[in-house]
Chains A and B, each alone.
Chain A
Amino acid sequence: MINRKKFDFVLLALLVLLIFLGCIAIYSASTTVVSGFKGTQNYWWRQIIFAVVALAGLTFVIWLPMPIFDVLILPAFIANIIALIAVLFTPSVSGAHRWFSIGGINFQPSESAKLLSILIIARNISREGLSDYRKILNGFSIMLIPIILIMLEPDFGTTIVFWVSLMAMLIAADVPVFYILLILSPAFSVVASVHWIGIVLWLLFLIGFLVMSRLSWVTITVAGIVNGFVSLVMPLFWMGLKDYQQNRILTFLDPTRDPLGAGYQIIQSKIAIGSGYLFGKGWLGGTQKNMNFLPEHHTDFIFSTIGEEFGFAGSIILLGVFVAFFARMIRASGELMVSERRVATSGIFAYLISQSFINIGMNIGLVPATGIPLPFISYGGSNLLFNTLSVAVVLKYMNERGFMK
């Protein structure tokens, strides 16, 4: 099973290290010392159990013979889509239908959908002789199935991650970068439409860029019209919104507008992280976690506990481990020669790094709060399991790569 010459022990070690750091942080986040009483909620040992299960799953994936693994992906994907449909009919938990609850264990099918969609799309778009146009079309069509189902739950935050990994997979499948930019251009147009100078500059840049890329006139015209339309319609659309709808969007972008809701948590998180200063208040020494984060400070806001208790030094060390981990994954995507596996690895890399960035960014008030947990660190069973399994897939591909390189 494990090929000593090829197996990426470093990646595995970094993975285990991250999970370990997560358990330490969760222990602290779920512990409070109040006038001599030390109370610990049972989150941390549950996370340890989840970790053991996740590592067992990792072992299983690596052990599974490659042909069987390949055959299993499609049925697993279909089953997952069915689960995504079925979950919409479960009783709602605080307004959303995201979880199956079986015997006290909550399973979130959108977690497994990330990994399985990546694997399916990787297989589809890395087929021989597929035009760039077909790659983009196929990738989008497949990705839309889970995305629409997840939007219905509703869970918008998670879908961002799907888009990012799709882009990364297209790049890895050798789709030219300017196509990707072309796909993303309407999003830029939305941002640029804030001001008319922005619109003009952006459209000039876009058309110049397209002409330079020697694309066909048809493409240039279509892209120009679409972007022009989006930038012109956006302000009208914005003006057509009711005050409270505008407020909702503005609050999403700037949570401090809503001090009684989302803004309160973000500010608390910033105070916690900022007050950690250089070296932090020491493990279990955090004071801000005793404030009002419950129930998120061991899940989405776990980074605030780390920032508070280990300071800037601790944040740097955690980021360092993440950097090493992602560097290892980039290396893996470079070394894999089978195009399907390279594309899949790129997708997994993008999905993990985008979650990490969004989560930490959310903790320090950089990006809007979207309810995305920090991979391997945040408390949560299905999240940890499928993040670990996606690394397992990368490890498996590395382990069984050819001798060509």
Chain B
Amino acid sequence: MSKPTRLFSIFSAILLAILLVSLFRLQVLRGKYYQQVAESNVLRIRRIFATRGEIYDNKYRPIVQNIPSHDLYLTTNKVVDIEALARFLFHHLGIENEELVEIVQKQRFKSYEEILIADNIEYESMLKISEYLDNFPELNFRIGSTREYLYPNHFSGYVGRINEEEYEKYRSEDYSLNGYIGKTGLERFYEVLLRGKDGKEIVQVDSRGRSLDLFSHEESYLEPLNGLSLVLTIDNDLQNFCEKAFPRHLRGALVVSDIRTGGILAYVSKPDYDPNIFMQRISPEAWKELNHKSKPMLDRVIHATYPPGSVFKPVTAGLGMEKKLVNRNTRFKSCGGGYQYGNRYFRCWLHSGHGRTNIIQALAQSCDVYFYDLSLKLPLDEFKDYAQRSGFYGKTGIDLPNERRGFFPDTQWYKENYGQNIQTSGHKINLSIGQGEILTSPIQMNAYFAALANNGVWIQPHLLKQTVGRSRLTAAEVQPLKSMKLPFSDSDLKLILEGLYATCNSKYGTAAVVQVPGAKTFGKTGSAENSMGKTTHAWFCGHIETDKPEIAVTVFMENAGGGGSIAAPVAKQVFDYYIGNIEDIKRTVAIPAQFRTAEDEEEEPQEEEEIVQPEEAEDEEDIIEIEEEEEEEQ
């Protein structure tokens, strides 16, 4: 035997001896002990669910809250008679046999763990089921927590049991198959903030309660970190008023936003649905209602896009000004109720015609011919570029999932869809008054009109104001808000605003109903022809100023009629309500006691000490909080 071979043999023999001795000790000497441990089946990890963050309006009034629920759990390895169990569950809870088999199959590698088979069971059926629980040792009730949505709305979204697909997708994020996940709306968008982090506890006592002492250290408990609660920019009073102000029988959207911050104060989409119905097994009737042809599930504020009609005219006018084609005194052809271009005749909405108008009158009276004429001087691709710079092509970036893009066609698009030889002038005429292929969503319109009022600064619309709970983050800390300057010079912007003011306040203005004593109103109406029906979509977009700009309101109604006659009166109600209750709506509310952190209570010198010694990550969060508070105090 050569020297290396001998060394290898000795080496292998040592390793073998180590393994043999260890295995002997483990399996023979201590085998009986481990058999007992194995039979008592008590060593396992129990998950302690973190409490999901709640959602509040800007005055800390609840919109979504947690309420206790009765949940039924199944432990698959304790099942005695699966057929009896299947009959029982079907009878009381309507769980089909296949569903049960699937649950058992899915759980096969964790048969000692409980799995949630029915959540949020009504009190009466819980009592009924409880009577029979002695026969089914595999079933037991636990008190869990479910969501309560305080009013029907489209922005909160709802949570649901995590499904297989989501479980696979978020595998690394420690979801439990018994857990919930945000499915739509804010619940989905801010899932990461709301969810928190589940805790864990290791159970290691045998059936007689003796500690098994398998772990040498006591760190067998990991506390859950509760989710952050969201404080929204929504104002429940205003939201509630807008809900009621929107005519019951109509479909559409109503958005109110704070001009200076971009925060949404009211967010209404009609018809609506109650998110609470997703918190229990959905009955077939409820399901039918959700799928009604009026589409109550559709969020018309961001998930749908529509032709804007005349509310788009400020954009056309803006490009005309940027290209120096329009100034205060520019007048085009006289409007005699229509415009002849080639062999086509484009009508103005007013058959009798508006005569020769300047830009302010054209906006106030919504003269189509003025814009037809202007559009012929605008290159299509610049028009698209300008619409994009005004926030109409693409998404606004509101903090809700699945926002729909706006659309504006360009030459390329027409060539692809209508052939290479397309003449775009006729289309341009249509686009100039917000008709044709252009599509916008109510939220885009609202952001644009808010920007007009805000010195031309466009701010990304958003619902989150700040978080409360473990850490206090402002919306900007969670996600930086985009903002941009609309392509207007100061004088051009002033001209547009004059036009919008005249719309509401001049004798011939299309929105002359929208006048509020003690405040200045601005706006633009629109009656958009569309492919969905004969009646036009009614639009009103505008804002109100006291000594400074206050709120921007967008009213949109599907196939409801004229913007001036149908949409504008609703906006007036909202403006009236706002001015009437302005003190109350703008009042700032002190942070409620349950959200105060220890630092809030402490006195200032101590806070300064903490700033001097920023050692750990946690302290850094504290500093951010302190700084915010200082700003608030100022």
Point out residues on A near B: beta carbons under 8 Å.
32, 34-37, 39, 94-95, 168, 171-172, 174, 177, 254, 256-260, 263-264, 267-268, 270-278, 287-288, 290-294, 307, 311-312, 315-316, 319, 323, 326-327, 330-331, 333-334, 346, 349-350, 353, 357, 360-361, 364, 366
Please give the distance in Å from A240's CB to the nearest CB on chain B. 16
Please give the distance in Å from B408's CB to the nearest CB on chain A. 35
Q: Does B110 contact A (CB under 8 A)?
A: yes
**Chain A residues, Cβ within 8 Å of B76:** 34-35
Enumerate B201-218 residues with CB–CB distance to A below 8 Å: 202, 204, 214-217
Please give the distance in Å from B549's CB to the nearest CB on chain A. 46
Q: Evaluate whether A353 and B12 lie within 8 angstroms (CB atoms) in the complex, with A34-B108, A277-B28, A311-B27 already known.
A: yes
Which of A278, A290, A361 has the most chain B CB atoms closer than 10 A to its own CB? A290
Q: Does B170 contact A (CB under 8 A)?
A: no
Q: Does B7 contact A (CB under 8 A)?
A: yes
Q: Which of B15-23, B65-73, B227-235, B533-541 contacts A (4 or more CB under 8 A)?
A: B15-23
Contact assessment for B43 and A268 in the assembled complex, using a CB-CB cutoff below 8 Å: yes
The tally of residues in B whose CB lies under 8 Å from a CB in A reads 59
Contact assessment for A330 and B219 in the assembled complex, using a CB-CB cutoff below 8 Å: no
Alpha-carbon distance between A268 and B104 when the two chains are bound, in angstroms: 22
Please give the distance in Å from A28's CB to the nearest CB on chain B. 13
Q: Does B132 contact A (CB under 8 A)?
A: no
**Chain B residues, Cβ within 8 Å of A36:** 82
Alpha-carbon distance between A34 and B100 when the two chains are bound, in angstroms: 13
**Chain B residues, Cβ within 8 Å of A288:** 38
Q: Which of B29-37, B152-160, B256-264, B558-566 contacts A (4 or more CB under 8 A)?
A: B29-37
Alpha-carbon distance between A38 and B41 when the two chains are bound, in angstroms: 20
Contact assessment for A259 and B31 in the assembled complex, using a CB-CB cutoff below 8 Å: no
Which of B2, B4, B104, B217 has the most chain A CB atoms closer than 10 A to its own CB? B4
Alpha-carbon distance between A268 and B24 when the two chains are bound, in angstroms: 18
Contact assessment for A272 and B80 in the assembled complex, using a CB-CB cutoff below 8 Å: no
Contact assessment for A271 and B12 in the assembled complex, using a CB-CB cutoff below 8 Å: no
**Chain A residues, Cβ within 8 Å of B19:** 319, 357, 360-361, 364, 366
**Chain A residues, Cβ within 8 Å of B217:** 256-257, 259
Q: Does B377 contact A (CB under 8 A)?
A: no
Alpha-carbon distance between A319 and B19 when the two chains are bound, in angstroms: 9
Contact assessment for B220 and A259 in the assembled complex, using a CB-CB cutoff below 8 Å: yes
Contact assessment for A271 and B4 in the assembled complex, using a CB-CB cutoff below 8 Å: no
Chain A at the B interface: SS class: helix
**Chain A residues, Cβ within 8 Å of B110:** 290-292, 294
Please give the distance in Å from A31's CB to the nearest CB on chain B. 9
Enumerate B22-61 residues with CB–CB distance to A below 8 Å: 22-24, 26-28, 30-35, 37-39, 41, 43-45
Contact assessment for A315 and B27 in the assembled complex, using a CB-CB cutoff below 8 Å: yes
Closest A residue to B220 using CB positions: A259
**Chain B residues, Cβ within 8 Å of A272:** 38
**Chain A residues, Cβ within 8 Å of B79:** 34-35
Contact assessment for A257 and B216 in the assembled complex, using a CB-CB cutoff below 8 Å: yes
Contact assessment for A276 and B111 in the assembled complex, using a CB-CB cutoff below 8 Å: no
Contact assessment for A333 and B5 in the assembled complex, using a CB-CB cutoff below 8 Å: yes
**Sample (20) of A-B pairs whose CB atoms are under 8 Å apart:** A35-B76, A35-B104, A37-B105, A171-B7, A174-B4, A257-B216, A273-B26, A274-B35, A275-B34, A276-B27, A292-B110, A292-B112, A307-B23, A307-B27, A319-B19, A323-B16, A333-B8, A353-B15, A357-B15, A364-B26
**Chain B residues, Cβ within 8 Å of A39:** 105, 108
Interface flags for B243-274 (1: CB within 8 Å of A; 0: not) read 00000000000000000000000000000000
Which of A35, A168, A267, A333 has the most chain B CB atoms closer than 10 A to its own CB? A35
Q: Does B77 contact A (CB under 8 A)?
A: yes
Q: Does B598 contact A (CB under 8 A)?
A: no
Closest A residue to B105 using CB positions: A39
Q: Does B612 contact A (CB under 8 A)?
A: no
Contact assessment for A35 and B38 in the assembled complex, using a CB-CB cutoff below 8 Å: no
**Chain A residues, Cβ within 8 Å of B214:** 256, 259, 267, 271
Q: Does B356 contact A (CB under 8 A)?
A: no
Select B38's contact among A258, A287, A360, beta carbons within 8 Å: A287
Question: A273-B23, A277-B34, A291-B112 are known contacts; what are 19 more A-B pairs with Cβ within 8 Å?
Answer: A35-B76, A35-B77, A37-B101, A37-B108, A39-B105, A260-B202, A263-B215, A270-B34, A271-B37, A271-B43, A271-B214, A273-B27, A273-B34, A275-B39, A291-B110, A311-B31, A323-B12, A334-B1, A366-B22
Q: Does B222 contact A (CB under 8 A)?
A: yes
Alpha-carbon distance between A160 and B8 when the two chains are bound, in angstroms: 18
Q: Does B109 contact A (CB under 8 A)?
A: yes
**Chain B residues, Cβ within 8 Å of A267:** 43, 214-215
Q: Does B347 contact A (CB under 8 A)?
A: no
**Chain B residues, Cβ within 8 Å of A275:** 31, 34-35, 37-39
Contact assessment for A291 and B77 in the assembled complex, using a CB-CB cutoff below 8 Å: no
Alpha-carbon distance between A312 and B34 when the two chains are bound, in angstroms: 13
Closest A residue to B202 using CB positions: A259
Which of A254, A257, A260, A333 has the most chain B CB atoms closer than 10 A to its own CB? A260
Closest B residue to A30 using CB positions: B109
Which of B8, B219, B222 has the most chain A CB atoms closer than 10 A to its own CB? B8
